[in-house]
Amino acid sequence: VIDDDMQKMYPKLVDADGIIVASPIYFMGVSAQLKLFIDRCQAFWARKYILNLSIREGGRTAKGFFIATAARDTGEGLFTGAVKTIKAFFHVLDTKYMGDILCAGLEEKGVAGKKQELLQQAFDAGKKLLEE
């Protein structure tokens, strides 16, 4: 067992009503830092599937949302690997995948703030997470 600040994060993940994860996309996957964080949650997988213990008390579920950005739009499948990783992560944590914002073509500084559809998607996602 590694004794570091992740020990403080585990109960926060279990107690959270919602989890929002964001990552840039590198080689069709999440960042190394996020992947390391997810990999450190392997203990939840073992608790759920090996020990047959619940993650959240009373069968409670949380809500999850994913935001991913990419500099270039390399076409279909750009976000597929990252979405699969996040869905698996949420599944282990008994967190319902409520949706995502996946945006490519953000190479230039400040371009995301100029895309009104992105701002609207973020606003709508926030409302959805609060209402459902």
pLDDT confidence of residue 2: 77
Is pLDDT above 80 for 1?
no
Nearest to 64 by CA among 17, 31, 6: 17
Single-letter amino acid code for the residue at 51:
L
Q: Which domains, and CATH codes, for the chain?
A: 16-131 (3.40.50.360)
Q: Where are the alpha helices (DSSP H) in 4-115?
A: 6-15, 32-39, 42-45, 80-92
10 Å Cβ neighbour count for 46? 11
Report the amino acid identity of residue 128: K
Q: Name the amino acid, one letter, at 97.
A: Y
The token pair at 78 is: 């750009």
pLDDT digits (tens, 9 = 90+) for 51-100: 999 999 888 999 999 999 999 888 789 999 999 999 999 999 999 999 99
pTM as predicted? 0.90
Rounded distance, CA 21 to CA 19, Å?
A: 6
pLDDT value at residue 67: 96
Residue recorded with tokens 């608790």: 47
HSE at residue 19, side-chain half, CA atoms within 13 A, is 24
Helix orientation angle between 32-39 and 80-92, rounded to the nearest 10 degrees: 30
